[in-house]
Structure 1
C-alpha cells in the first residue's frame, strides 16, 4: 500500500504551499480561494492518513479512530471544494476576460 503515503506527502506539500501563498497574497478574495484549496488538501491528508493507519494496524481501536479522522477529513474536503469553487466563480465574475 504505497499509494497512501504518497497521497499523504503530496497533500501535505499542497497544504503548506497554499498556506504560504495566503501570506504572500494581498487580495482578500484570492486569499479565501487559497484557503479553500488548503482546506481540501488538509481533508485529503486526513482521509489518506486514516486509511493508511487502519491498513497498518487492523485493530478495532484503529478502526474507530480512523473513522473519526476519516469523517473529519471528508468534512474538510467537501467544505474546501465548495469554498474554492465559490471564490473562483466570484473572482471570474469580478475579473472578466
Structure 2
C-alpha cells in the first residue's frame, strides 16, 4: 500500500508549508486560517500514520498504538475542519 505513505508525506509537507505561511502573513485572520489548515494537515498525518502502522506491522501493540493515533487524528481533524470553515467564512465575509 503506497497510498498511505504518500498521504503522510504530503500532509507533513503541507503542515510545514502552512506554518511558514503563518510567519509570512501579517493579517491575524489569515494567520488563524492558515493555522487551522496546518492543524488539518497535522490531524490527517496522525490519522493516516496510525492506519499505516497497523497495516505495516499487524501486531497487537501496533493495533493499540494505531487505535490511539486514529482517535487522536480523528479528533484533530474534526476540530480543524470546524476551525477552517469558521475562518474561511469570516475571511470571505471581510474580503468580499
Mark yes or no: TM-score above 0.5.
Answer: yes
1:44-75 superposed Cα distances (whole Å, 9 cap, x missing partner): 10111111110111111110111001111111
In the alignment, what sits opposite 1:22?
Answer: 22
In the alignment, what sits opposite 1:45?
Answer: 45
Root mean square deviation, CA, Å: 0.7
Q: How does 1:1-97 map to 2 (within 5 A)?
A: 1-96=1-96
Normalization by structure 1: what TM-score?
0.96
Note the C-alpha offset of 1:78. 1.1
Aligned length: 96
Equivalent-residue separation in structure 2 for 1:87 and 1:56 (angstroms): 37
- Any unmatched runs of 5+ in structure 2? none
